[in-house]
């Protein structure tokens, strides 16, 4: 079996960062408006904002319209899914091949599933994807087996060459990390950071999973730039021609987003996604500089 540890576009180009957007996080935009952007408007906004692809969770009823909307804007497609059995991965890989998705990522099972069962899903799921020519990454996420560091490290012990979609906001809020030096957060997360091939951009302050980061100069934002740059350095150490590190802006709508008592948002997630893009590019510059 050929193992795809990174997403590769098949070119001879130098390894690079690709910033993309989550379709979910384009929901309920524009901010506090009565009418949400249409699917075409969401895709055109992503394109105009400099995002190169969109992550979607699709089903048989929604796949065609989403693929057509992405194609109209020249945007790539990434498929996410939550497998509880190997057959779930097979179905998503089949969809990815049908739609020409770049790669797939998985939120595996839940925290109450035995680690051996999760390892089987991840190991056999990766083989299914890799045999089809697709990279397969495992996302770190609450309410999945990978919701905390100790369980995720158990999974690494069983699959040392596992590759992650690192949504580090979940580890930061579950571990109540603030980014203080004596916490050793980067060292604790290093087993995941060193195996990261895809990053989800959301910033936690250690108490809320998603906070406004203003212009990117806040303490939580600076902490996450450090985390991302560390993961990027490790990714670059083994990267080759055509390898691409996808970074996805993924700022969730309510109930992820903090709201006022009337349910309205006070943070413009679209503007924040542009800040997230800039922070990702900053982290990449740090990683490239060594």
Residues 6+ apart with CB under 8 A from 83: 89, 92, 106, 108, 109, 121, 125
Residue 30, preceding peptide bond in cis (omega within 30° of 0): yes
Token pair 């989403």 in the structure block, residue: 66
Q: What is the pLDDT of residue 70?
A: 98
Mean pLDDT taken over the chain = 97
Rounded distance between C-alpha atoms, residue 226 and residue 222, angstroms: 6
Cα separation, 13 vs 139, in Å, equals 27
Residue 238: inside a domain, yes or no? Answer: yes
Count of domains in the chain? 1
Predicted confidence at residue 25, as pLDDT, reads 98
Q: % helix / strand / coil in the chain, to the nearest 5? A: 45, 15, 40
Q: pLDDT tens digits for 193-213?
A: 999 999 999 999 999 999 999
d(CA 2, CA 225) in angstroms, rounded, equals 32
Residue 34 lies in a domain: yes
**Domain containing 82: what range?**
7-288
Assign 290 a pLDDT band (cuts: 50, 70, 90): confident
Tell me the C-alpha distance between 202 and 167, whole Å.
7
Q: Is 49 exposed, middle or buried (0-12, 13-18, 19+ CB in 10 A)?
A: middle
Rounded average pLDDT over 230-258: 97
Q: Is the pLDDT of residue 1 over 80?
A: no
Residue 1 lies in a domain: no
What's the mean pLDDT in 34-43? Answer: 98
Is pLDDT above 80 for 177?
yes
Q: Vertex 136, ends 199 and 96: CA angle to 5°?
A: 105
Task: Place 259 in a pLDDT band, splitting at 50, 70 and 90.
Answer: very high
User: Does 107 reside within a domain?
Assistant: yes
105 part of a folded domain: yes
Strand runs (DSSP E) across 104-252, as ranges? 104-106, 136-139, 164-166, 196-201, 243-249
Sign of CA dihedral 15, 230, 163, 170: negative
DSSP element (H, E) containing 21: strand 16-22
2 in any annotated domain: no
SS3 assignment, position 288: helix
Segment 70-92 shows an average pLDDT of 98
Structure tokens at 59: 């089903």
CATH of the domain at 69: 3.20.20.150
Residue 222 lies in a domain: yes
Instruction: Specify if 177 maps to a domain.
Output: yes
User: What are 139-154's pLDDT values in tens digits?
Assistant: 999 999 999 999 999 9
Q: What is the pLDDT of residues 244-253, one digit of tens each?
A: 999 999 999 9
**Percentage of the residues of the chain whose pLDDT score is greater than 90:** 99
């Amino acid at each position: 079996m050929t193992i795809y540890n990174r997403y590769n576009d098949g070119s001879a180009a130098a390894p690079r960062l690709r910033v993309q957007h989550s379709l979910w996080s384009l929901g309920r935009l524009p901010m506090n408006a009565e009418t949400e952007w249409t699917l075409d408007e969401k895709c055109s906004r992503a394109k105009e904002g400099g995002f190169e692809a969109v992550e979607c969770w699709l089903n048989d009823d929604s796949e065609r319209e989403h693929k057509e909307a992405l194609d109209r804007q020249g945007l790539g497609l990434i498929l996410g899914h939550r497998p509880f059995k190997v057959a779930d991965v097979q179905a998503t890989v089949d969809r990815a091949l049908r739609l020409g998705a770049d790669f797939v990522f998985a939120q595996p099972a839940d925290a109450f599933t035995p680690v051996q069962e999760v390892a089987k899903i991840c190991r056999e799921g990766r083989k299914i994807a890799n045999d089809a020519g697709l990279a397969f990454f495992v996302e770190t996420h609450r309410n999945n087996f990978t919701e905390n560091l100790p369980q995720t490290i158990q999974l690494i012990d069983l699959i040392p060459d596992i590759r992650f979609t690192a949504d580090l906001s979940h580890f930061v809020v579950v571990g109540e990390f603030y980014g203080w030096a004596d916490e050793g957060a980067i060292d604790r997360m290093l087993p995941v950071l060193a195996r990261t091939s895809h990053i989800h951009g959301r910033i936690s302050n250690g108490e809320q999973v998603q906070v406004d980061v203003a212009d990117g100069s806040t303490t939580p934002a600076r902490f996450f730039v450090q985390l991302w740059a560390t993961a990027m350095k490790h990714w670059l150490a083994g990267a080759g021609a055509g390898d691409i590190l996808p970074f996805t802006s993924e700022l969730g709508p309510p109930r992820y987003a903090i709201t006022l008592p009337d349910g309205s948002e006070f943070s413009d997630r679209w503007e924040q996604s542009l800040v997230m893009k800039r922070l990702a590019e900053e982290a990449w510059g740090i990683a490239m500089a060594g």
